[in-house]
Amino acid sequence: MLHTLSPFLIEFPAGFPIPGIRWYGLAYAFGFVAGWLLVRRVAAAGKTPLSVADAADFAVATAIGVMAGGRVGYALFYDPAMLWTFTRSVPFWELLAIQRGGMASHGGMIGVLLAVGVYGWRRGVPVLHTWDLTAFGAPMGILFGRLANYVNGELYGRPVRDPSFPLAVRFPQELSPHTPLADGSTLAEHLSTYPGAASLVDAVRAADPLVMQAVLEHAELRHPVQLYAAAGEGLLVFLIVAWVFRKPVRPGLAAAAFGVSYTVIRMIDELFREPDAGVQTYFHLTRGQLLSAFLGVAALALGAVVLWRKKPRLGGWWAGAAA
């Protein structure tokens, strides 16, 4: 299978301030809306200090935490040079140049836990309960985010061992701009003749013979690990947390369930994901596996503390479930 999806839902003509409406941005919007609806459901059906109206403010806190934490986390974990790189073009600081990509899921988790924790502290809501609410909505955001990763042709998987593997995908995005073409030019030089921000995708969709030949020669058949992650880190983790949180629980238990289940599934997904170029591994673990291991240990510790403290139960989305 050849990846031919455009990163744009709508691409604007040349001269517009922005190139178009990207699926990646819509994925964040869909995730925040899904989280808002799920928190509303808990507020309407469960035992929680939050009202249905509070769900919107909670969603805003979540959005701030995810965006800030995801960007800062990417800089700290994968590209520290962002922190001290400044340019003469808007937004001047590389850390703020979100349009160029670069978000870390683990950073987003840290950011959102801090943001909703502050929200809960200011509203008199138990911090661990705000973490449970976040854990209930977060997997949907992860699901949409991983689907957007696939549409963008980024964070693709390792090469498949068997070329006949039915899910294998060839991603043109893995080609270097310096990839040589049959006419002696480079890929970047040839794509300069295509207008718009999605020139590589446009060339592939048009079955440009020079580009197609380069793709077949240099782009390997790979695991669509973004789809594995959407199903596992997104949908499966959501089902696990939803089952735990179907009735009121001791504050922090749903968050612990999220942390443990996400860790296990992410560790497996990383076995199929192409390691980030230039990012060091530790003890044969990728950066994602190492960060997930810390998350898993913290989640297990949180679960143990929650069960030991025996605080009053809160939450639950199923109105008919007993505490």
Binding site, by residue number, is 146
Provide the residue type at 249 as one letter. Answer: V
Whose CA is closest to 145, among 201, 106, 94, 196?
A: 106
Residue type for 280, please? Q
Provide the 10 A C-beta neighbour count for residue 74.
Answer: 22
* Residue 72: both structure tokens together: 């800062």
* DSSP H or E run through 129: helix 127-152
Distances (CA, A) of 213 to 151, 236, 256: 22, 38, 49
Counts of helices then strands in the chain (DSSP H, E): 11, 4
Cβ-based neighbours of 238, under 8 Å, separated by 6 or more? 139, 140, 143
Take residue 7 and report the two structure tokens written for it: 């990163």
How many Å apart are CA 299 and CA 293, to the nearest integer? 10
CB 139 within 8 A of CB 233: yes
